[in-house]
Chain A
Amino acid sequence: EAGVTQFPSHSVIEKGQTVTLRCDPISGHDNLYWYRRVMGKEIKFLLHFVKESKQDESGMPNNRFLAERTGGTYSTLKVQPAELEDSGVYFCASSQVKNPYEQYFGPGTRLTVT
């Protein structure tokens, strides 16, 4: 069974540009989460999808971040325009509805904004 995959693995962009991160959850996992780890800090929750619906987006830092999960399968996280403080590693995780706390993480996308 394929795990959670994320694309790209690394992205280097300039301040003001736009970047879109993609996450493919484990097949059959309705729960999808985005997390972020900035340098020297702990991993922090960004938002949670159940299928295509946003269940909780309380962790989204500001309106420059837009997450979508059209069709309830893969998800994208767009940052527009990117700022220096957006640099970090963005993780995606997925879980089954019947076992929501057993979250499986992807390898992360390392975003560097210069």
Chain B
Amino acid sequence: KNQVEQSPQSLIILEGKNCTLQCNYTVSPFSNLRWYKQDTGRGPVSLTIMTFSENTKSNGRYTATLDADTKQSSLHITASQLSDSASYICVVSEMGGATNKLIFGTGTLLAVQP
């Protein structure tokens, strides 16, 4: 069964600090992996997307890494801001098939405190 697991489930950090979120997946064959940010009451918004051949991708203060051999990814947030408080979801796409099905992790709920 294709799964995406994330850790930790929740995290509280102080404003200005860095943090790293983890994602392990068993999806195969793998097409791409992306990290989404979901603010409360909003839909998920894509932060980064990486294919099999990429091992790092940055978007401002967000840096994602991918190790396709160990099937692990991380999202590093630098110099956190209050607006970073949200749920961060790791999403993996299967390769091939007639549809573009996304497989979601349960997310990490991040709270940035002043």
Q: How far is the CB of B44 from chain A (nearest CB, A)?
A: 5
Verify if B46 is at the interface (C-beta below 8 Å from A). yes
**Least Cβ–Cβ distance between B78 and chain A, in angstroms:** 25
Say which size band chain A's interface belongs to.
20 to 34
How far is the CB of A96 from the nearest CB of chain B, in Å? 11
Q: How many B residues have CB within 8 A of the partner chain? A: 24
Which residues of chain B from 61 to 114 have a CB within 8 Å of any chain A CB? 89, 93, 97-107
Ranked 10 nearest A-B pairs via Cβ: A105-B43, A56-B99, A100-B100, A43-B104, A42-B104, A48-B99, A42-B106, A105-B44, A107-B43, A106-B43
Question: In whole angstroms, how far apart are the Cα atoms of A33 and B103 in the complex?
Answer: 13
Please report B residues at the A interface, Cβ cutoff 8 Å.
Answer: 4, 31-32, 34, 41-46, 49, 89, 93, 97-107
Please tell me if the beta carbons of A41 and B101 are within 8 angstroms of each other in the complex.
no
Given A101-B32, A101-B49, A107 contacting B100 (CB threshold 8 A): no
Q: Does A64 contact B (CB under 8 A)?
A: no
Provide 12 A-B residue pairs closer than 8 Å at the C-beta atoms, listed in order of the A residue.
A31-B100, A42-B89, A42-B104, A43-B104, A45-B103, A48-B99, A55-B99, A56-B98, A56-B101, A93-B43, A101-B49, A103-B46
